[in-house]
Structure 1
């Protein structure tokens, strides 16, 4: 069995799920305040068929489906989520008030190590906002941060394998 880390051979703990950055489009600045990213999940359809003369049901590979991804962040004065969600409404309003090229974006998600170095990067292709929650339920007796949420549909994701394991100090 191989070591779980090739460069940092003394490290045995897996990376933590609470250190990450999210980038929208070509931006080099991460989206402010993202506190939660839904998991990346894909599944393939199974096609069952029978061969003549065989009692077995065989299974073949069908189409791949990618599940939507949800991003949550604390509400600030940054309008990125709202403006992107509004781009999807142009189809509902009949005459587009803005260009459809703002509808779909690439999204990059980077998992970071304890030193803040990127250790894994995933790229989601042609994302668009299918659901937007501008404000959560408000509760005067509560003690929670106000969160806005977007649900992203996309045309698949891939693990960026060009990002290699960084040397940790």
Structure 2
């Protein structure tokens, strides 16, 4: 069933600069960039015996690319603690990982210019495969950015999020 826009006055697409990430039921502070939300389905080619001139195509296995999260480093240890669930240097033999709870479901929320939730994606069974501390440069004048690369086993757009009516300015 087609879903029609509630906000018939909106003509412009949404901007990409208002978003938040949530895991374990709370928002993670300071996320400044999210990259790589991508799904790819393999193409399986085959031919019918009686038609040698062309091939047919069917969908094959679907893969989900890793997602990279970037944020300015703070005293918040969310990135570091999650990374340590997969590998914790210095732990004793056989105790380097915690496979009990190293996967998380994430929610990526996007907001319009008025700060209203307009789109959300759910990422499933995500875990950290890479952690990069900030690059330090004494000659720079920039925010120290840390990154994590998150593997996931799928994502979907949350169809419970509907387009809101945008507020009008009182005049």
Question: Residue 101 of structure 1: CA displacement?
Answer: 2.6
CA RMSD of aligned residues (A): 2.0
TM-score (norm. length: structure 2): 0.88
Q: Are 2:92 and 1:102 aligned?
A: no
Match for residue 30 of structure 2 among 33, 42, 45: 33
Structure 1: distance between partners of 2:165 and 2:93: 53
Question: Residue 95 of structure 1: CA displacement?
Answer: 2.2
More helix by share: 1
Aligned residues: 163
Q: In the TM superposition, what whole-angstrom CA distance separates every residue of 1:108-146 from its partner, at most 9, and x where no partner exists? A: 00000112111101000000000001222x111111100
Unaligned runs of 5+ in 1: none
Structure 2: distance between partners of 1:88 and 1:70: 17
Which SS does the other structure have where 1:88 is aligned? coil
Match for residue 63 of structure 1 among 61, 64, 88: 61
Which residue is 2:44 aligned to?
Answer: 47
Question: Residue 69 of structure 1: CA displacement?
Answer: 0.3
Structure 1: distance between partners of 2:161 and 2:56: 39
Unaligned runs of 5+ in 2: none
